[in-house]
């Protein structure tokens, strides 16, 4: 089992302090000193619009200043990590925004803002004449993740509508083949983590089945290809599917240690193929975010 040396950690800290976004810099600082939480909350607030939604590149592949449901889920991911409760204004405003964006006809949410094409973005976010991006065609992303936030925070969203969304999502998971689209799988995992016990019991067998069929366990491709790796779905040995991936998780942690030791950072395995100047900025933002996430993962698994 490999662990990150103190010398390597110092080099990584330098990369974070010089290249990461303030949001990810403060997140790392808070992880080392919990008294720094106000700095993270303040950095997160710069991405939230007056309507409660998040935007402004909080998803580094999508730069529109217009609020979007998927960008708002990323804001709530940070809020959840910080332990912000439903009483916090940032959470209240985000949930109010999402409640107003639900599409009754599809029992879910469109991922992107209608103005996404008006700012630099990755091609998979492009809506074009159809008004629907490639991601928007996958109804469960980000619908099932948003569903989880409403169940977790127990807001006043129509409970009958919420139950209908949950029933549809669970039924679709059961009908999924063993190998499913990785971002959809990640959304189901995020829903499971905050779902009420009765929904967790219903989801778990199909989650274990699709996790086993979807996650790539070949370490030789993790660094260079955009594939669903074990740490996409595993946060700790307490996860109820950890037994399926224990060896692969250990191997990925070893690889993270090696990469941080050699390169001082974790870089994205994808690129836009358009907006070349803006992509270099987005690439740097992703590098900072992925590097901080790697350090937090290594800490959880006792590799630091």
Q: Which pLDDT tens digit goes with each residue over 119-156?
A: 999 999 999 998 889 888 777 999 999 999 999 998 87
Mean of per-residue pLDDT scores for the chain: 96
Residue with tokens 């992925």: 290
Q: Which pLDDT tens digit goes with each residue over 166-204?
A: 999 999 999 999 999 999 999 999 999 999 999 999 999
Average pLDDT over residues 253-262: 97
Residue 238 binned pLDDT confidence (cut-offs 50, 70, 90): very high
Share of the chain above pLDDT 90, in %: 93
Say yes or no to pLDDT of 260 above 90.
yes
Average pLDDT over residues 100-114: 94
């Amino acid at each position: 089992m490999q662990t990150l040396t103190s010398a390597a950690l110092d080099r990584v800290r330098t990369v974070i302090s010089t290249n990461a976004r303030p949001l990810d810099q403060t997140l790392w600082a808070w992880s080392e000193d919990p008294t720094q939480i106000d700095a993270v909350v303040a950095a997160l607030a710069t991405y939230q619009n007056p309507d409660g939604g998040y935007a402004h590149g909080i998803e580094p592949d999508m730069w529109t200043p217009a609020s979007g449901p998927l960008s708002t889920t990323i804001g709530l991911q940070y809020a959840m990590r910080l332990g912000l409760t439903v009483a916090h204004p940032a959470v209240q405003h985000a949930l109010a925004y999402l409640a107003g964006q639900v599409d009754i006809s599809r029992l879910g949410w469109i991922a992107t803002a209608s103005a996404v094409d008006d700012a630099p973005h990755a091609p998979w976010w492009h809506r074009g004449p159809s008004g629907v991006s490639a991601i928007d065609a996958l109804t469960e992303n980000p619908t099932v993740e948003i569903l989880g936030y409403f169940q977790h925070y127990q807001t006043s969203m129509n409970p009958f509508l919420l139950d209908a969304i949950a029933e549809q999502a669970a039924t679709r998971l059961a009908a999924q083949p063993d190998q499913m689209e990785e971002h959809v799988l990640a959304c189901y995992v995020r829903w499971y983590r905050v779902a009420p016990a009765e929904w967790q019991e219903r989801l778990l067998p199909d989650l274990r089945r699709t996790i086993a069929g979807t996650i790539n366990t070949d370490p030789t491709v993790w660094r260079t290809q955009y594939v669903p790796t074990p740490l996409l779905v595993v946060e700790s040995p307490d996860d109820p599917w950890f037994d399926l991936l224990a060896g692969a998780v250990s191997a990925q942690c070893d690889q993270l240690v090696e990469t941080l030791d050699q390169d001082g950072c974790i870089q994205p395995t994808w690129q836009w193929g358009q907006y070349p100047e803006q992509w270099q900025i987005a690439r740097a933002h992703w590098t900072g975010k992925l590097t901080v996430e790697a350090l937090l993962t290594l800490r959880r698994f006792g590799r630091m």
